[in-house]
Amino acid sequence: MNIIPKISFLKNKEEDIFFKRIKNLTGYKPKNISIYKIAFTHKSANKTDPNGNKINYERLEFLGDALLDASVTSFLFHNLPESREGELTQMRSKIVSRKHLNEIGKELDLISFAKKPTSKRKFSYNAHGDFFEALIAAIYLDRGYVIMDKFIKKKLISIYVDLDQLLGKISSYKSLFIEWCQKNQFNYEFIAYEDSGKSHVKYFAVKLLVGNKIVGKSRATSKKKAEEIASRRAYYKFQKRIE
Amino acid sequence: MNIIPKISFLKNKEEDIFFKRIKNLTGYKPKNISIYKIAFTHKSANKTDPNGNKINYERLEFLGDALLDASVTSFLFHNLPESREGELTQMRSKIVSRKHLNEIGKELDLISFAKKPTSKRKFSYNAHGDFFEALIAAIYLDRGYVIMDKFIKKKLISIYVDLDQLLGKISSYKSLFIEWCQKNQFNYEFIAYEDSGKSHVKYFAVKLLVGNKIVGKSRATSKKKAEEIASRRAYYKFQKRIE
């Protein structure tokens, strides 16, 4: 059964660059690069296979959505052993929300993997999240469930999911950290600067200093988000002292 | 993290029987039998761990539901390469419907793995499907995704899922088969008899004969269902001749 039609509409050099970028993104050499090409083919590209069937990420996105749900549910099951189904459902909704997936797709700059729409139209904002889900399915089809599950943990959960924050126990790590510094009369400083590199998306880097020592670093698509992540990292570094 | 509390409320002999029955059901030796015990602990049993947390299948059912969705979605993705998301969604809803899961749980006689409710209350009909979902999560936690995926294919998909029928291409294999016999002037006969064995659920066995030769066999919880399955098996045996 021909579930992954071979497509070759990238020129050789573009192929090489695409392959290397997928390798950097996922952390391994793709076995079947065609799957990733489909994952980053937007419907607006109007690609079809020789039988006239549409080729785009939509079927992969559908599969990725279900796989993401399973992986996140398993993560929550293991990490919230005392939560009942109601709370697990709520937590999962927050993690796999459209808003959240769009944020992650944007952070990973996934749109830059796709061919730009041919017309003057831009991708919709939801394309960020769509590409993320399609990528998950591509990894699953190329390398299996276990590697896909690890990718989700590495790229989504370890960076963007903070259970204490989602459970409403902590609303802002930045406030928490500042409070702790003030209480202890420590000098702190957030240094933020633009750091987009070659990316199509604007990035901000943040260094958080206590005295002259860097205690947290991060890079994200907004200054506020980067400060929050740096504060969270600093918080966990110092948490025994803070609590 | 103590995600699977050890529970031992079965007596030694009961333990042995339970272990063997799980082995027969799943086709392998369970590594951590406690997980299966929880999967078959109904909320009406009112079990708690030493910290006072409830022990029953509900959290496992929640996890199993998401895993089942992922596995079925992947199956449909591979087997319906020309279906778009809308059709895939419809097909998935039919396969993982509450009605369908209850049927499967009943066919597998999963209720017999659970301790009977202490009061005079009976399990609700939905308990059949609930136990099936909890069992899926137990297999996943005990043996990993790949073995769980195989179990779903073996116990659910290969037996109960007929894509042609679900797609509305074939409404009854029995009618189709009878039509073919009449057209070819073949004598056919359905022999049905009760065959419950030691099971708590009533089973019917069906043999489908053409001339004196058995062309299809099956066993299910209703005569109608068993006839349909036997006809489907016979149909696929003869399909080159029928089509």
Residue A54: give its domain's CATH number: 1.10.1520.10
Instruction: State if pTM tops 0.80.
Output: no
Q: What is the mean pLDDT of residues A43-72?
A: 90
Instruction: Using CA atoms of B148, B57, B110, B20 in order, give the dihedral in degrees to the nearest 10.
Output: 70
CA distance A69 to chain B (A): 6
Would you place residue A119 in the very low, low, confident or very high pLDDT band (cuts 50, 70, 90)?
low
Does residue B198 have a pLDDT over 80? no
Mutate to test the interface with A, among B82, B90, B95, B130 (most CBs of A within 10 A): B82
Does residue B179 have a pLDDT over 90? no
Amino acid in the structure at residue A43: K
Kindly report which listed range (B2-11, B21-30, B163-172) carries the lowest average pLDDT score: B2-11
Cβ-based contacts under 8 A for chains A and B: 78
Q: What is the mean pLDDT of residues B110-129?
A: 82
Would you place residue A176 in the very low, low, confident or very high pLDDT band (cuts 50, 70, 90)?
confident
Mutate to test the interface with B, among A35, A38, A61, A67 (most CBs of B within 10 A): A67
Asked if residue B108 and residue B26 are part of one domain, the reply reads: yes
Active site residue: B107, B133, B142, B227, which one?
B133
Asked if residue B26 and residue B88 are part of one domain, the reply reads: yes
In a domain, B160, yes or no: yes
Q: Is the model more confident about A229 or about B147?
A: B147
pLDDT given for residue A1 in this prediction: 46
Task: Tell me which residue range forms the domain holding A205.
Answer: 173-242
In a domain, A85, yes or no: yes
Q: Are strands A213-220 and A204-210 parallel, antiparallel or unpaired?
A: antiparallel
Amino acid in the structure at residue A31: K
pLDDT given for residue A225 in this prediction: 87
Average pLDDT of every residue of chain B: 87
pLDDT given for residue B127 in this prediction: 92
In a domain, B3, yes or no: no
ipTM: 0.77
Return the SS3 of B119. Answer: coil
CA distance A48 to chain B (A): 12
Maximum CA extent, chain A: 70
Would you place residue A57 in the very low, low, confident or very high pLDDT band (cuts 50, 70, 90)?
very high
Asked if residue A116 and residue A42 are part of one domain, the reply reads: yes
Among candidates B167, B4, B203, which has minimal Cα distance to B86?
B167
Residues 6+ apart with CB under 8 A from A35: A4, A60, A138, A141, A142
In a domain, B6, yes or no: no
Asked if residue B193 and residue B160 are part of one domain, the reply reads: no
pLDDT given for residue A18 in this prediction: 93
Would you place residue B6 in the very low, low, confident or very high pLDDT band (cuts 50, 70, 90)?
low
**Which helix (H) or strand (E) segment is B219 a member of?**
strand B213-220
In a domain, A6, yes or no: no
Would you place residue A76 in the very low, low, confident or very high pLDDT band (cuts 50, 70, 90)?
very high
In a domain, A1, yes or no: no
Q: Kindly report the CATH number assigned to the domain that includes residue B180.
A: 3.30.160.20
Asked if residue A48 and residue A151 are part of one domain, the reply reads: yes
Would you place residue A115 in the very low, low, confident or very high pLDDT band (cuts 50, 70, 90)?
confident
Asked if residue B193 and residue B151 are part of one domain, the reply reads: no
Amino acid in the structure at residue A195: D
Active-site residue, B164 included: no
Asked if residue A211 and residue A186 are part of one domain, the reply reads: yes
Residue B15 structure tokens? 């333990």
Q: Name the domain count of chain B.
A: 2
Asked if residue A137 and residue A55 are part of one domain, the reply reads: yes
Q: Are strands B188-194 and B204-210 parallel, antiparallel or unpaired?
A: antiparallel
Residues of B engaging A, defined by a Cβ cutoff of 8 Å: 1-3, 53-54, 58-59, 61-63, 66-67, 69-70, 73-74, 77-79, 81-85, 88-89, 137, 140, 144-146, 149
Residue of A nearest to B147 (CA): A145
Active-site residue, B149 included: no
Count of Cβ atoms closer than 10 Å to residue B85 Cβ: 14
Does residue A238 have a pLDDT over 80? no
